[in-house]
Amino acid sequence: MQSEVRVLIGRTLAGDQTAFAALYHQYKNLVYKTAWLLLGNSAEADDALQEVFLLVHRALATYQPERAAFSTWLYRITTNYCLSWRRRRRLTLLPLEWAGQTPDAAQRHHEERLEDTDTIFRCVQRLSGKKRAVVVLRYYWDLSYAEISTILDIPLGTVKSRLNEALRIMRDELGPLLSIEGAMLPDAGREVRS
């Protein structure tokens, strides 16, 4: 995989746009889904997809394959872009696509799952950007703590503490909604979000 990517990078640097198109189609879901989960709506995720690939195209000559996998480099650019974008946006508004959304699935079980998913997703969006990034990289992309540490350029201990805090916040918020037993322990202590 990596050697194939190196070939595509080399051809892109030589001016072959079809090679860059191949890179795009190979990695568009990685960038888009990460952006979508971090930003919370499809319009901004599409913008992020375009901006990230334009940055990649411009900075491709600076990518050093011996230091990190191409996907790691893309995760880093994408998370940096999305976190910076959210910092600039300031206001955290619920996307329109959530408003009044009612799952119309036939089976009750499926409806409950969708409702749960909405609740969980809203809760993730209310986390701070830093915590949201580690949550998405860990629980959506199944990356290890070490990989997350490399991508976000933070110590391993910070990855641990951010995930710890994020899950405790979610336990406190989701516990009563999702009927998670033991969620509201008297000595559990409510985490303060940063």
Q: How far is residue 184 CA from its own chain's centroid?
A: 28
Residues 31-50 that bind another protein (CB under 8 A): 32-33, 36-37, 42, 45-46, 49-50
Based on the shown chain and the rule CB under 8 A, indicate whether residue 55 belongs to the binding site for another protein: yes
Residues 158-187 that bind another protein (CB under 8 A): 160, 163-164, 167-168, 170-171, 174-175, 178, 180-183, 185, 187
Nearer to another protein, 29 or 92 (CB): 29
- Report whether 66 contacts 19 (CB < 8 A): no
Residues 13-32 that bind another protein (CB under 8 A): 13-15, 17, 20-21, 24-25, 28-29, 32
Round to whole Å and give the CA distance between 133 and 35: 10
Cα-Cα-Cα-Cα torsion 21, 76, 54, 59, nearest 10 degrees, comes to -100
Tokens matching residue 121: 């997703």
What's the closest the beta carbon of residue 54 comes to another protein, in angstroms? 6
What's the closest the beta carbon of residue 118 comes to another protein, in angstroms? 8
- Contacts (Cβ under 8 Å, ≥6 apart) of 188: 168, 171, 172
Based on the shown chain and the rule CB under 8 A, indicate whether residue 131 belongs to the binding site for another protein: no
- C-alpha atoms less than 13 angstroms from C-alpha of 113 in its C-beta half-sphere: 6
Q: Tell me how many residues contact another protein (CB under 8 A).
A: 73
Among 7, 96, 105, 121, binds another protein (CB under 8 A): 121
Based on the shown chain and the rule CB under 8 A, indicate whether residue 3 belongs to the binding site for another protein: no
Where does residue 55 rank: exposed (0-12), middle (13-18), buried (19+ CB within 10 A)?
middle
